[in-house]
Amino acid sequence: MKFSLPYLLLLPLAIILVLLPTVLSSYSISLITQALIFVLFAMSLDLLVGSLGLPSLGHAAFFGVGAYTAALISLKVTMNFWICLIAGIFSGLIASAIFGLLAIRAGGSSFLMITLALGQVLWGVAYKWRSFTGGDDGLTGIAFPSFGVPWALNRDSYYYIVLIIVSLMCVFLAIIVSSPFGLTLKGIRDSELRMKALGYNVVLYKYSCFILAAAFASVSGVLFVFYNRFVGPSDLGIVLSAKGLLMVILGGVGTLWGPAFGAMVITLMENIFSAVMDRWIMLLGIIYVLVILFFPRGVIGTIKEKARGN
């Protein structure tokens, strides 16, 4: 592997992230914790959109399934974080295995439409099935979980837990994307017919990628629920799904680090602006329009293009 610029930047970035709590207020750290969780969500979506060229508008479904599962387990069964995490991933896998069967044969706009409809149905279930999901009140009173480690952990140390898990997952994702599996996905994105002719089981690869991306999304959902202490229907609806796509596009489709950057920017902006202005929703809409008109290749994508041009 050659050490390109992004990899050289990772070490100082890691050091900065580790040292941040010593400088920043606990409010800022909480914001960054949230941003890190969405970094993982956006990168998981980029595995699907970037590597495979399949734009999903239902990716939040797996984030939400992970979050709801972790919330229900922690409320009703055990407060052990790792059990909640595994259960969350497991339910994300099941949901994506079912959704994938229905959606994966479609391409482009149809895929988008089908994932949107499937995701919204799940949203509807969360919204209507009051006895199980709490309806639009969501699930509240989620306590800080236990981690089964000898140190005493509290809310302030959750930042580190999120940082460690998200970093690990990002490394995983980076490995997957550059592995033979990831390269095959890119081959399918560029020419499905040729890959089929070369003897690749295209549908199986697409299906595996869909499920894999969903598993990472459900990890971010589990992390989110213990951060937020609340999960509601909006955590699996189209608004979050589309926000994920916006993060991916803002950063640059298929660049993996770009979506991470996009997630940081959007999450921080949302928290800062929605606190100080009434018309945040409209501003968010305008941001969508502007990003798509002026940054269609994303920030990282545009920088890469410039670098290649020189």
Partner 1 sequence: MDFLILQSLNSISFGMLLFLVASGLSLIFGLMAVVNLAHGSFYLIGAYIALTFIKITGNFGYALAVACLVVPAIGILIERVFLHRLFKNELAQVLLTFGFIFIFQDACLWIWGGVPQSFRSPEILSISVSLGGPLKFPVYRLFVIVIGCLVALGLWFLIERTRLGMVVRAGVDNSEMAQAVGVNVSRLFSVVFALGVLLAALGGVLGGPIIGVYPGVDMEILLFALVVIIIGGQGSLKGAFWGSLVVGVLDNFGKALFPELSLFSIFAPMAMVLAVRPQGLFGAK
**Residue 239: what are its φ and ψ, rounded to 5°?**
-60, -45
Q: How far apart are CA 280 and CA 277, in angstroms?
A: 6
Q: How far apart are CA 310 and CA 304, in angstroms?
A: 10
Based on the shown chain and the rule CB under 8 A, indicate whether residue 97 belongs to the binding site for partner 1.
no
Beta carbon nearer to partner 1, 179 or 285: 285
Based on the shown chain and the rule CB under 8 A, indicate whether residue 84 belongs to the binding site for partner 1.
no
3-state secondary structure of 142: coil
CB-based contact 241:61 (threshold 8 Å): yes
Strand partners, 217: none
Based on the shown chain and the rule CB under 8 A, indicate whether residue 289 belongs to the binding site for partner 1.
yes
Window 19-58: contact mask with partner 1 (x via CB under 8 A): ------------------------------x-----x-x-
Closest alpha carbon to 132 in 65, 216, 217, 224: 65
CB atoms inside a 10 Å sphere around CB 36:
25
Q: How far apart are CA 299 and CA 301, in angstroms?
A: 5
CB atoms inside a 10 Å sphere around CB 124:
12
Based on the shown chain and the rule CB under 8 A, indicate whether residue 102 belongs to the binding site for partner 1.
yes
Q: Which of residues 144-203 bind partner 1 (CB under 8 A)?
A: none
Nearest approach in angstroms of CB 32 to partner 1 is 25
Residue selected from 110, 178, 179, 201 as contacting partner 1 according to rule CB under 8 A: 110
Beta carbon nearer to partner 1, 33 or 120: 120
Based on the shown chain and the rule CB under 8 A, indicate whether residue 300 belongs to the binding site for partner 1.
no
Nearest approach in angstroms of CB 310 to partner 1 is 26
**Residue 132: what are its φ and ψ, rounded to 5°?**
-105, -45
Based on the shown chain and the rule CB under 8 A, indicate whether residue 247 belongs to the binding site for partner 1.
no
Based on the shown chain and the rule CB under 8 A, indicate whether residue 130 belongs to the binding site for partner 1.
yes
CB atoms inside a 10 Å sphere around CB 178:
13
Residue selected from 146, 200, 288, 303 as contacting partner 1 according to rule CB under 8 A: 288
Q: For binding to partner 1 (CB under 8 A), which residues are involved?
A: 49, 55, 57, 101-103, 105-106, 108-110, 112-114, 116-118, 120-121, 124-125, 128-131, 238, 242, 245-246, 249, 279, 281-282, 284-289, 292-293, 296
